Amino acid sequence: MTKYIVKRVLFGLVTLFALATITFYLMHAIPGTPFSGEMRQLSDVIRDKLIELYDLDKPYHIRYIKYLKNAVTGNFGTSLHRKGAEVMDIIGKGLPYTASLGAVSFCIAMFVGISLGAVAAFSKKPWINGTVAFIATVGVSVPSFLVALLMMLLFGVKLGWLPMIGLSGWKNFIMPGVALALGPIAMISRLVKSGLQEELRQDYVTLAKSKGTGEVTVVLRHALKNAILPVITYAGPLLATLVTGSFVVETMFTIPGIGAEFVNSVTNRDYTLIMALTIIYGAFIIIANIATDLISAAIDPRVRLK
């Protein structure tokens, strides 16, 4: 077990290294420099000075090696776009907002998705099935910004029940949390529904019933555990994606998270910030995948950890 985790972490580091390398060369292939755009008015002297300061005149491989050396020691450099701001400080300030919102929407997605899926799997009433199928279709096809806008209009402007800006209290989490969770809810409810229906048709469910076990107990004790496996496979990467935020939702609700930085850093050619965000996102995904595999193995003994 420990050996397995160590092995997976080592592989994860190799993956991160590959990710960093590819991103480093790709982002420099984007046309333009950090000093184009609104900073075009800089005088040539200052620009040359800055370019020298950030080593932008050196060949790629030298800058790459220097970057890696610093990164290994935890120094991800300063932002090229914001004066004097350490990249790590920018992320450190934004990540708590983004991560807490992501965690909230993850919980909403799991709870609502599993409940809806279970209800749909058991109900024999067509209208319940229809409603769940409708929610699933809406969740998949309607973009989150549209849902967010509609919610803001209804609950924020018309009814005035929920605040629309920032993340100062628990009420602030509701609308962005739901907007982020809608897509995953649709996915999870469908996974749970088809999983449960599949498992309830299995022979071992018949055997469990023949022991005199009640129908609800059969589901909870036997079927649910087997039906939940595909959900866990989906939930790991989902969590990693949610806690790193969304550009659209964070911008709309004016949340000072890192979700917006992903897009802004690229438009600004803020090389150091792009690198740090990519590595953090990659690390989250890798950790989530390891956790997913460990949980799957804990639930299903047939999954072998090698």
Partner 1 sequence: MDNLLTTENLSVDFETDQGIVHAVRNVSFHLNKGEILGIVGESGSGKSVTMYSIMGLLGDTAHIQCGKMLFDGTDINPCSYQSKKAYSAVMRDLCGSRMAMIFQDPMTFLNPTMKIGKQLCEPILNHTSMTKQQARQRALELMSLVGIPSPETRIDQYPFEFSGGMRQRIIIAIALANNPKLIIADEPTTALDVTIQAQVLDLIKDISKKLQSSVILITHDLGVVASLCDRINIMYGGKIVETGTDKEIFYSPNHPYTKGLLSCICNPEDDSRELKPIPGSPPDLLQPPKGCPFVDRCDEAMKICKLQMPETTVLSPTHLSACWLNELTKRQGE
User: What does the binding site for partner 1 look like in residue numbers (CB under 8 A)?
Assistant: 124, 202-204, 206-215, 221-222, 225-226, 299-302
Which conformational region is residue 270 in: left (phi greater than 0), alpha (psi within -120 to 50 degrees), or beta?
Answer: beta
Q: Closest distance between partner 1 and the C-beta of residue 22, in Å? A: 39
Beta bridge partners of 78: 86
Reading the block at residue 190, the tokens are 């469908």
Q: Closest distance between partner 1 and the C-beta of residue 201, in Å? A: 9
Would you say 153 or 298 has its CB closer to partner 1? 298
The C-alpha atoms of residue 8 and residue 2 are separated, in whole angstroms, by 10
Maximum pairwise Cα distance, the chain? 86
Would you say 180 or 208 has its CB closer to partner 1? 208
Would you say 81 or 222 has its CB closer to partner 1? 222
Q: Tell me which residue of 103, 106, 77, 73 sits closest to 91, measured CA to CA.
A: 77
CB-based contact 195:219 (threshold 8 Å): no
Q: Closest distance between partner 1 and the C-beta of residue 193, in Å? A: 17
Q: Closest distance between partner 1 and the C-beta of residue 121, in Å? A: 14
Residue with tokens 């910030």: 273
DSSP result, 55-71: TTTS-HHHHHHHHHHHH
The C-alpha atoms of residue 91 and residue 5 are separated, in whole angstroms, by 27
Would you say 74 or 126 has its CB closer to partner 1? 126
Would you say 27 or 224 has its CB closer to partner 1? 224
Q: Closest distance between partner 1 and the C-beta of residue 232, in Å? A: 13
